[in-house]
Structure 1
Amino acid sequence: MTAERQGSDQQQSLQLLISLHRLLRTVRQAAPAGLYPTQLIVLSQLLQCGPMRVGELAAQVPCSQPTATTMVTHLEAMGLVAREPDPSDGRAIQVTLTEQGRETIISVAHGEAEIIAKRLAELTPEEAAQVLAVVPLLDRLSGQRVDQNATK
């Protein structure tokens, strides 16, 4: 790869990142007051993956274990998660999503999806199809496979 092409790729990557950040900022308007983006990530991880230990959550978010512990404590105080003994190791604790937490993250996801749907409706049908066609590629770039049924 030539230095010129590498510079061009980096510039395009930066522009993609900026565009994604702008889009995410727009859809985050659907988040309920008092929930930070990282807390939403914790709730969505628990919805997708099921109960997890705090260390596992920290690795998935990603953040430090003390930060994950603080987030879990706040989410627990809000009634969105609960700490329970790990069935595979009674000495360990795992974090589970409460019914209120499940309803909250699903509501947030649906609110964000409504915003995206409104924005897609502003595009031509061809442009909207182009945007939606990149979803599998974005999933691959993120390193995660998203369960399409998790938020239904």
Structure 2
Amino acid sequence: MAQEALQLLVSMHRIVRHLRRSRTTTLLHPTQFLALMLIADEQPIRIGEIAARVPCSQPTATTTVAGLEEAGLVRREPDPVDGRATAVVLTELGAETVEASGRQAAEELANLLSRLDDADRTLVLQAGAVLARVTDGL
């Protein structure tokens, strides 16, 4: 099982690297990309939660959000639960970027998967749902 796990890990890294290189809609750092996708799913979200869920350190999350804010993709606003804290939400440009990046990544992955026969492609797509469950708690 260890060898198969290593092969899976290497293959996933190669796919992610390929998708990063092919992405033309945004030139975000991978941590910024992950944070932006998380913000889109969980907004409003505090920076500490971003750090825990990306995962990265609190200072890295703060720097990441600052970069996204400078790019006009997110904004900070008072936390609806605790007005003393701030939460991060997408701007309109951020929402457009998430949609475009997601669409482009899905199209590029579909292109990669088109190299497979129907049975293997179905198997990989089904594995995506299983891997999502594995990563839910990370």
Structure 2 distance, partners of 1:70, 1:79, is 14
Match of 1:51 in 2: 44
Match of 2:63 in 1: 70
Moved over 2 A (4+): 31-34
Match of 2:6 in 1: 14
1:100 and 2:93 correspond: yes
1:88 and 2:81 correspond: yes
Match of 2:111 in 1: 118
| 2:75–2:89 Cα contact (<8 Å) kept | yes
Structure 2 distance, partners of 1:31, 1:75, is 17
Structure 1 distance, partners of 2:118, 2:39, is 35
Letter in 2 for 1:94: A
Q: Describe the superposition over 1:104-129 as per-residue Cα deviations: whole angstroms up to 9, x where unpaired.
A: 01111110111111122222112211
* Unmatched runs of 5 consecutive residues or more in structure 2: none
Structure 2 distance, partners of 1:31, 1:55, is 29
Structure 1 distance, partners of 2:24, 2:48, is 25
TM-superposed deviation, 1:33: 4.9
Structure 1 distance, partners of 2:79, 2:24, is 30
* Unmatched runs of 5 consecutive residues or more in structure 1: 1-8, 145-152
**Percent of counterpart pairs with the same letter?**
46
Distance 1:33 1:88, change over 3 A: closer
Letter in 1 for 2:19: V
TM-score, length of structure 2 as denominator length = 0.92
Structure 1 distance, partners of 2:7, 2:24, is 25
Structure 2 distance, partners of 1:83, 1:31, is 26
Match of 1:25 in 2: 17
Match of 1:5 in 2: none
TM-score, length of structure 1 as denominator length = 0.84
| 2:25–2:100 Cα contact (<8 Å) kept | no
Distance 1:50 1:66, change over 3 A: same
Q: Describe the superposition over 1:65-117 as per-residue Cα deviations: whole angstroms up to 9, x where unpaired.
A: 11100011111010000010112211111111111111101111110111111
Structure 2 distance, partners of 1:128, 1:31, is 25
The higher radius of gyration belongs to 1
Structure 1 distance, partners of 2:24, 2:41, is 18
CA RMSD of aligned residues (A): 1.4
